[in-house]
Structure 1
């Protein structure tokens, strides 16, 4: 069973990553064809290499990385050529000098780690494998240019027509996962099941990576929007969702604390209040609606976004209202923690989907919780 489970997980990873696999394979092959067939380079190693290096960078950074790769390759080749002419090829002193000068130069101009490595590898390749002659410097530079350009074009093919679609899908997936975590926590509370509560906590701990994917997705969408004719409208939407990611991060952390308190509560002999699971489920519903609101806003469906936002607020306030009624003297501390996290998650969730006045939002939340008006 563990072996089949591993194969299943591997197949799922391949299925999720097949666009990147296809993208990288296509870019490297096209770069090689362009350099060999159209340009006529005999062994254009740096064309597919540069394509793979650029595509290997985080989404949203490929344009800058492409420029860095070009500069790194050109600098490495230039340093190697000069040093080889002075010291000769394939000598220990030559290798030491070329690598030292290349890395120092790359660091001096502010290149990042991958660009420093690319520059050093380019120079080392020429010193050890193929010492440069009079025509090799332009070959290497043009090869890197071809590879970087092909990588950028291939990476943007799917995004040119609908540049925000990948980000919309990422938001929907993130909010669906967070909603599912809360549903699992609610089921564990209803069943007084510490094993299920621990499973929900483990899933909640894994949500941090989803938030990072959202941040990366915003960068990637910004890069794609730069090639879009109607980019001004898209940029406005991106600014809005980018500002909301911080609140989403807080909501994810709150849900993790809620799940941890759920583990503690299910381990105690005291019965779990019947309505606690209902409150957490309503919070999960609010999470789902908030995700749909952000997705609809990115898609330009403002009316749908407003409707989803209203439903998210209704569900969140009802969750806080139900949880507030459970806050009675003598109840265990984990219950109080869950009630507090229902409130905190609702606040951060609603802050992420609406430009509402913060004081008014807090007043509505506290009124639902049963706290006196300030």
Structure 2
């Protein structure tokens, strides 16, 4: 049974990960062919190695990593050539001196971990495996350049037709998971199920990974657009999502506090008002509509984006209004905290969908909550 489960897990990983495997294999092979057949390099080790190193980085970091790999190889080759000529190849002192000088040089120039390691490995390879032969032709540096260029070209080909598609998928997954989390909290409170509420709190604590994935998706999309000749029509859409990510991060933090208060409320003997579940489910619906709005905006579907944003606004204000009606019904602190977090989440959510409507969003939410003077402020902001 365990073997069968392990095979299923392995099969699932292959189904989801075959594209990066194929991409890396083809890129490394192409880099090798270019270095050997086109340029005639005798031992182009660094061409496929550089391609694999660059493609092994997360999308959004590959241009920088390609430059770092090339610089690392150049520094390592330079140090190895000088030290081997002075001390000879293969000795312990040569190895010690090459590694020491290479790392010192990389640190002095502020190199990151990838550049530092690449420089040291390149130098060590030249000392132990393929000592310099005294030629002035920079074969290894050119090989690293070829590998990095092929890796970037492979990234470009993968994202050429739909450079924003991975980010759209990440937006949808993030918002769907956040909406499901809110609905799960509502179900747990309806049943007064402390165990289920704890499970939802655990999920809420894991939402930071989703936000990080969203940030990485924005970086990857930016990199794809920098490599895309038709990037201009996408840049504005990407910037709008980039501005929204910070507000989504705030909303995730609010939901985490809400989930923690939900655990406390589920432990109390006081009944949970059914309106609270209604408010949380309305807020979950607002999250789904907000995610659909951002995804439609990235896809260039302006009318659909406006329609989803309007629905998100309606559902978020409905959630705040419903929660606000519970203020006078109980003095339980956890309930008051949840109501406050419903308001805060609605504000951050709507700010994320409408980043240019900051003051009006705050006024509309407070009016829905029934705060004194909020309606007057809202009318003033909306003029």
User: Considering the TM-score relative to the shorter chain, is it more than 0.5?
Assistant: yes
List aligned pairs for 1:54-203, cutoff 5 A: 54-135=54-135, 138-203=138-203
Deviation at 1:185, TM superposition (A): 1.0
- Once the two structures are overlaid, the 10-residue window that deviates more, 306-315 or 89-98, is 89-98
Whole-angstrom distance in 1 between the partners of 2:29 and 2:136: 22
- Once the two structures are overlaid, the 10-residue window that deviates more, 135-144 or 306-315, is 135-144
- For the 8 Å contact 1:77–1:123, the answer to whether it is kept is yes
- For the 8 Å contact 1:78–1:137, the answer to whether it is kept is no
CA RMSD of superposed structures (Å): 1.9
- Once the two structures are overlaid, the 10-residue window that deviates more, 29-38 or 159-168, is 29-38
- For the 8 Å contact 2:351–2:357, the answer to whether it is kept is no
Whole-angstrom distance in 2 between the partners of 1:104 and 1:54: 23
The corresponding residue for 1:234 is 234
CA gap 1:362/1:168 in 2 versus in 1, 3 angstroms: same
- Once the two structures are overlaid, the 10-residue window that deviates more, 156-165 or 313-322, is 156-165
List aligned pairs for 1:321-340, cutoff 5 A: 321-328=321-328, 330-340=330-340
Whole-angstrom distance in 2 between the partners of 1:134 and 1:154: 34
Deviation at 1:25, TM superposition (A): 2.3
Q: Show CA shifts across 1:170-215 (max 9, x none).
A: 1111111111111111111111111111111111111101111111
CA gap 1:286/1:2 in 2 versus in 1, 3 angstroms: farther
- For the 8 Å contact 1:244–1:351, the answer to whether it is kept is yes
Q: Show CA shifts across 1:105-154 (max 9, x none).
A: 22233321101100110001111122111348622112211211111111
- For the 8 Å contact 1:258–1:341, the answer to whether it is kept is yes
TM-score, normalised with respect to structure 1: 0.94
List aligned pairs for 1:287-306, cutoff 5 A: 287-306=287-306
Q: Show CA shifts across 1:21-63 (max 9, x none).
A: 2222222222223323333333322111111111122321211
Q: Which runs of 5+ in 1 are unaligned?
A: none
Residue aligned with 1:186, SS: helix
Residue aligned with 1:225, SS: helix
Whole-angstrom distance in 2 between the partners of 1:44 and 1:188: 60
Whole-angstrom distance in 1 between the partners of 2:143 and 2:151: 12
- For the 8 Å contact 1:320–1:368, the answer to whether it is kept is yes
TM-score, normalised with respect to structure 2: 0.92
Residue aligned with 1:158, SS: helix
Deviation at 1:329, TM superposition (A): 5.3
The corresponding residue for 2:245 is 245
CA gap 1:270/1:301 in 2 versus in 1, 3 angstroms: same
- For the 8 Å contact 1:171–1:294, the answer to whether it is kept is yes
The corresponding residue for 1:261 is 261
1:215 aligns with 2:241: no
- Once the two structures are overlaid, the 10-residue window that deviates more, 12-21 or 63-72, is 12-21
The corresponding residue for 2:379 is none
Residue aligned with 1:69, SS: helix
Whole-angstrom distance in 1 between the partners of 2:85 and 2:289: 67
> How many residue pairs get matched?
374
Residue aligned with 1:157, SS: helix
